Amino acid sequence: MSTVTDTATRATAPGAGGSAVHRLLRRWPVGLFVLLFLLPYCALEVPVLLDGPVGSAGSLQLLATCLLFGALATGYDLLLGRTGLLSFGHALYFAAGSYATNTMMQEAGLPFGLSVVLGLVFGVVLAVLLGSVSLRVTGIGFSMVTLAFAQAGSIVVARDPGGFTGGEEGRAVAAGFLPSSLVGIDNTANLYWITLAFLGLTLAVVHLTTHSPTGRVWEGIKENERRVEVLGLRPYAYKLVAFTVAGGLAALGGIVHLLLTGGSTPHTTSSEFTLSLLVMVVLGGSGTRWGPMLGGILYTWADHRLGDVANSAAVADLPAVLRVPLSQPLFLLGALFVIVVNVLPGGLAALPGRIREARAARRGAGKDARDAPAPDAPAPPDADTDTDTDTKERHTP
């Protein structure tokens, strides 16, 4: 449903170019958001994409998971694509939100709302503390330190101190600790809306912060940290802000994940978890507005659905050479990722631009090239003439 409207709007846009259409086009995120909001009321069957009707609990659960990871990837890109920080420890803050809230509720016996707030605060404080330490080193050293901290978190969770984390089993939230409106299959729509709200919040936070003065400094840091220093700014403080905001968003995502899955799992502390976020971001298009979200949604969907495809009869009948790779979503995603990194820098978000370019090139390469202003127009014409004169001088000594 949503896709149909979306394509229709897009199709009319480039040709018409009228201001009304243009305005509509600029509002498409709002329209899409409304559509997403209404999905739980939709009884449509989408055969390949989803198992049951869109509004069914199973489909909503998958959709919510997709949206959650879309949001997480968007938050992670605040570091990678906006500030140029390659963190290998983002999972830590996600897991911190989840486990802290879980522990507050079940061990400290605090009410749900307070637990959520404290879980978020814990994640943010952890991000401030570890960020302020990690950011003292730059480049690959930063990546390593974040990886080390995350690994430490992973080990702690696996050791199950005081029985808080449940070790390798993870820890489910027992009935009665969560509000009844957030428990059970009948209430999946509520969880879906919470996830959607989290996605909206993440997109808004990322959009607002990157368009703030701080965001412009982040951009400067990403391009050339030394130049920012020369301007008399302290990159460290700005990077710490980015790290904290991203960490806070991840912690909140962990809390949403806790609600959505009804518990905390140690998988969310692993370095693979961070790496999968990295893959989502790069797949979708790092540093773009919608790319990370798109990558997160597609990755999560593929991860879930490819597993089902693998178990289908069509695949089971294939020879082993084809069946084995096809039955492993992570293999396909990993391979796809390598290909995207190689042939599509900028990720999926860069695809429309690429296609437009290719089309323009086919329409008449010579004409377009001459008409289009050179993006790197090197020199004013008079300066060029200078050089020409010089050349002539030299050739007629």
Where on the chain is the footprint of another protein (CB under 8 A)? 84, 86, 133-134, 136-141, 143-145, 147-149, 151-152, 155-156, 158-159, 223-224, 271-272, 275-276, 278-279, 282, 324-325, 327-331, 333-335, 337-338, 341-342, 345, 376, 378-379, 383-384, 386-388, 390-391, 393-394, 397
Q: Which is nearer to another protein, 262 or 346 (CB)?
A: 346
Closest separation between CB of residue 111 and another protein, Å? 32
Q: Which is nearer to another protein, 43 or 321 (CB)?
A: 321
Determine the Cα–Cα distance for residues 72 and 93; give it in Å rounded to an integer. 11
Q: Which is nearer to another protein, 107 or 272 (CB)?
A: 272
Closest separation between CB of residue 342 and another protein, Å? 6
Q: Which is nearer to another protein, 174 or 383 (CB)?
A: 383
Q: Which is nearer to another protein, 216 or 331 (CB)?
A: 331
Determine the Cα–Cα distance for residues 365 and 276; give it in Å rounded to an integer. 39
Query: What is the DSSP secondary-structure string of 323-358?
Result: HHHHT-HHHHHHHHHHHHHHH-TT-GGGHHHHHHHH
Q: Which is nearer to another protein, 204 or 335 (CB)?
A: 335
Closest separation between CB of residue 99 and another protein, Å? 16
- DSSP 8-state symbol, 44: -
Determine the Cα–Cα distance for residues 179 and 183; give it in Å rounded to an integer. 7
Q: Which is nearer to another protein, 44 or 324 (CB)?
A: 324
Cα 39–Cα 41–Cα 42 angle in degrees, nearest 5: 65
- Does residue 71 contact residue 293 with C-beta atoms inside 8 Å? yes
Closest separation between CB of residue 244 and another protein, Å? 18
Q: For 308-313, which contacts have Cβ atoms below 8 Å and span 24 or more sequence positions?
A: 308/51
Determine the Cα–Cα distance for residues 168 and 130; give it in Å rounded to an integer. 24
Determine the Cα–Cα distance for residues 266 and 18; give it in Å rounded to an integer. 53
Closest separation between CB of residue 137 and another protein, Å? 5
- Does residue 142 contact residue 135 with C-beta atoms inside 8 Å? yes
Closest separation between CB of residue 373 and another protein, Å? 13
3-state SS class at 53: strand
Closest separation between CB of residue 19 and another protein, Å? 33
- Does residue 123 contact residue 258 with C-beta atoms inside 8 Å? no
Determine the Cα–Cα distance for residues 126 and 102; give it in Å rounded to an integer. 16
Determine the Cα–Cα distance for residues 315 and 323; give it in Å rounded to an integer. 6
Closest separation between CB of residue 122 and another protein, Å? 19
Q: Which is nearer to another protein, 204 or 338 (CB)?
A: 338
